[in-house]
Amino acid sequence: MEDWEKGTIAISFVDEALHSMRRRGMDTESLLLQAGISPRWLSTPHARVAAANYGRLWYLIAHAMDDEFFGMDSHPMRVGSFNMLCRSALHSATLSKGLARMLDFLRLVLDDMSATLSQQDGLARIVINESGSSRRMFAYATFLMIVHGVGSWLIGRRIQLLSADFRCEEPLASLDYKIRFCDQARFGQAQTSITFDAACLALPIVQNQRSLQSFLRGAPGNLLEKYSNHDSLAATIRRRLRRLPLAEWSDFDSMSQHLRTPASTLRRKLGQEGQSYQAIKDNLRRDLAINYLSGSAKSIEEIAISLGFADSSAFHRAFKKWTGSSPGEHRRALSAT
């Protein structure tokens, strides 16, 4: 299983992806069911879905609307546009050329949004150009996710973002967006932009036609998780825990010793990211539980034991706290899809 498939996506992302379809009176329930997502989860604010199911929904919405930008621009981004964007950027020598070709392509395809790439004082900056009032966070995120995600794939590593500014007000799922982009995400800004080290622009393109086929099979839905902010301290700790059996998950002091960071410093740095050690462990167990319930034949009792719970009732209470529904309700909703 790909790393991105092991994560989960906030239900608000599902709701945002369906926004334009609902506004046009299109059927959304059948698409949710095809994607393995229960429509009832939309009314449960804390619900989350497996990233693989969200990627499937992305594909279904794009084909239902014939628009890979989900109806968020006055000109549709016809199905196949993303494929052409990737192929255009693939034949570049460096990331700088690849990004420039992507932005040129999007300028030709979309009417209401475009972006420019510039560099100054060692920083590269991609700024979204638009007129009128600010858009939904999902529109900005989708545009930048495509550019940043494909750019990261082209050079074979994540482009580490130093800052991310958005014109819109802070969304409810702001922590999820910070995990996707960077900890320094700010909202209610004059312009929407991302910045990164300008030295990245000279990096060579390492992908080819063969790797493109593999990439396109999961894209663009997989970009949401695949090129998330894996450089953060929280992500480092999560990767460390995921490599270990649940019984070997260390306590906070042991983790600080492993990271060679004083406990007080580790706590402060996690706080700056809006995280805590307990929350990281809880979220990882939550994501593992959702993926087990979504794609495993294990019983709820077996899942509870594999996740380190003393019994299924303790797992039941924790899962309901995490998602708003019980493990049984979650699995029954899936079986109805």
Q: How far apart are the C-alpha atoms of 320 and 325, rounded to whole Å?
A: 5
- Which residues in the chain come in under a pLDDT of 50? 1-5
In this prediction, residue 225 carries a pLDDT of 67
Q: What is the pLDDT of residues 152-177, one digit of tens each?
A: 999 988 898 999 999 999 998 887 88
In this prediction, residue 248 carries a pLDDT of 83
* CA atoms in the 13 A half-sphere facing the CB of 52: 13
pTM, 2 dp: 0.75
Residue 153 has a CB neighbour count (10 Å cut-off) of: 26
In this prediction, residue 230 carries a pLDDT of 65
Which residue in 13, 89, 26 sits closest to 55, CA to CA?
13
- The CA-to-CA distance between both ends of the chain, in Å, stands at 22
Q: Domain 233-272+275-335: state its class.
A: mainly alpha
- The full set of domain ranges for the chain reads 3-226, 233-272+275-335
Strands 48-50 and 8-10: antiparallel
Tokens of 60: 């279904």
Strand intervals (E) in 198-321: none
Q: What is the pLDDT of residues 253-287, one digit of tens each?
A: 999 998 999 999 999 988 877 678 988 888 888 88
